[in-house]
Structure 1
């Protein structure tokens, strides 16, 4: 691979070993994302580092293409800026840090090589429920203390709107009788889910408008268990800052919790209890760090985040005849498991959406169109 070949010239400086002693182990990542040429654990002697190569030349689909616009959600150089400016350390005193930047190399071909600390902690994909709750508390403390942060010109804007609007696969199936009669769907999507998800889709613009009017926070915008590692007692290490930017207070938590179930790290049956405990911990963290706003706005931010998963129902309907692929394209997962857990998670998100519709008018927002 050209990315690996180019890295050999950087190994001696980062790891202090001859280039021929370096071992490159590919790490799981999203291969469809056009900004990532690859991610490797590089080992030399008794030292190791993670190499992530940022690019704008990788061929991929339109949905994941790299952008040169610094405000675009997939701006290809953003993560380099996050590390170089020290923004990745902005939450550190509240218990959330990023891997240490060892070296940032501007390569002759235009790519950027990020050499990062190889964090040895346990990934959140294997945490008990209490681990996720503790992370939620740290996240609340961090976002309550730091607030929106400085408006650096390369931080993403309109992430939720652009990501939601750009995912349209299967939208025509949301009210298609045949799609909802598929055996997998009939077995695993609870009664009433069709109406709830169609309503969420029809209300999408309302949800996005609400999210954009809520109190702002510096958000990571890609928080899910595969991007979080234990950093020792009371510390989370947050990976992959490529989407970082402006978001609503509560938006990061509103994405993290469903992802625990949708990617099969937490049983769907545990989601209601986890969501309550994590939300309470997040608010406790906010209050503990000095945030004095109306808690109902935070709750609305979490619940209205359900709009992010408007796309998921349509996607599951469209792919009901395909074998589900695991994250990163590494193997498959049983379709029965994926659709059972996914159906329960979507039903939970429908409850969040319903709560958001009831809460928003109490806070001065217009009623959702479907609620009039």
Structure 2
């Protein structure tokens, strides 16, 4: 990217389970400048819930990010809304590719204040107010296909012993078991509801670790591997609880974060000329919490482990389970409210 030789590399945090991603690393060149190199690999023999795909409509299509960074119209639409798609060079070969991206410095979304979350979701609304674009490589059916293929011990949901584990009994709300059972009973209805709502071009991995605010205030978005069709508001429904699940926002302030993000997202939509029904957007935000149906049994299955991680870093187990338990209750209430509103 600079024409100078590389003098150092450092591996960056990423999802090591995803078969599409071989490596993500920061490169340092001899002149002191840096870049981010992301190496992608074709499916090969990958299997399991994170297997890569050659189907351009599959949520984990291995070439999608290459197409995103080459899409000048998407880049311009984001810029018009106040968002940045990092500059990138693309190099391909038969069984893989490399994205060499500008290394954007600034404040990670993991450290955002409430005001910064507000600014981001407002800009996101301005982007998604624009008519949805369909490309041959954009994903379809992400919410259902991703959320129903996670490998977790579903059977523990009905296992009394699992719910009596000390870490669960002492940190989770007593009403969570019944609330999650209801979410599971109505999971297909929730997925159908989200699929029936107004559509948008969605990021589909919109969360705090995939955004950086430059010192200038510009907001850069990363990790576009799942991009495609989704409900208007679905990305916001992911962004809000995920900040708590990975312990980048305190659950005690989750209602405040939700209210702020939803209000600013709607304001952004209106600023860009959208004149749809805000209640349908709120429905999508709440009902899309069904994506996390798999998370609770996954936590039940790991509650007796000697140590626990949040986003690939070890954290205090009691605090993690307390934060996630309260956030799961919030999501269950969201989903129940979405179903009640849809029936009216």
Smaller-chain TM-score range? over 0.9
Paired position in structure 1 for 2:86: 99
Whose strand proportion is higher, 1 or 2?
Answer: 2
> How far 1:61 sits from its partner (Å)?
5.1
Aligned to 2:50: 64
Verify: 1:245 aligned to 2:232, yes or no: no
Note if contact 2:247-2:323 (Cα within 8 Å) is conserved in structure 1. yes
So what's the TM-score if we normalise by structure 2?
0.96
* Cross-structure match for 1:278: 261
Name 1:347's counterpart in structure 2: 329
Whether contact under 8 Å (2:212, 2:219) holds in the other structure is yes
Aligned residues: 341
Gaps of 5+ in 2: none
Give me the whole-angstrom Cα distance separating, in 1, the residues matched to 2:240 and 2:215.
22
Partners of 1:283 and 1:255 lie apart in 2 by 16
Q: Which runs of structure 2 are paired with 1:361-372 in the superposition (5 Å)?
A: 361-362=343-344
Deviations 1:198-253 (A, max 9, x none): 11111110001010010000000001111110034443110000000000000000
SS in 2 for 1:37: strand
Q: Provide structure 1 residue ranges, at least 5 long, that are not aligned to the other structure.
A: 1-13, 363-372
CA distance in 1, matches of 2:179, 2:46: 33
Tell me what 1:16 maps to.
Answer: 3
Task: State the alpha-carbon separation in 2 of the partners of residues 168 and 303 from structure 1.
Answer: 24
- Cα distance change on mapping 1:177 and 1:188 into 2, 3 Å: same
RMSD value, Cα: 1.4
Which whole-Å CA distance do the structure 1 matches of 2:278 and 2:111 have between them? 31
Aligned-residue offset at 1:167: 1.4
Out of 159, 164, 167, the position equivalent to 1:181 is 164
1:113 aligns with 2:94: no
Which string of whole-angstrom CA distances, capped at 9 and with x for unpartnered residues, describes residues 339-370 of structure 1?
000001011111211210111123xxxxxxxx
**What residue in structure 2 maps to residue 79 of structure 1?**
65
Say if 2:215 is the partner of 1:228: no
After superposition, the C-alpha distances for 1:246-274 in whole angstroms (9 at most, x for unaligned) are 00000000000001100000000010011
- CA 268–347 in structure 1, closer or farther in 2 if over 3 Å, else same: same
Pairing partner for 1:313 from 273, 292, 296: 296
Say which is worse superposed, 344-353 or 242-251, in terms of deviation: 344-353
1:324 aligns with 2:311: no
Measure the CA separation in 2 of the matches of 1:136 and 1:39: 26
Deviation at 1:78, TM superposition (A): 0.3
Per-residue deviation, residues 305-361 of structure 1 (Å, max 9, x unmatched): 11011111111111111221242x4x4111111100000101111121121011112
In 2, the alpha carbon distance for the partners of 1:135 and 1:245 equals 20
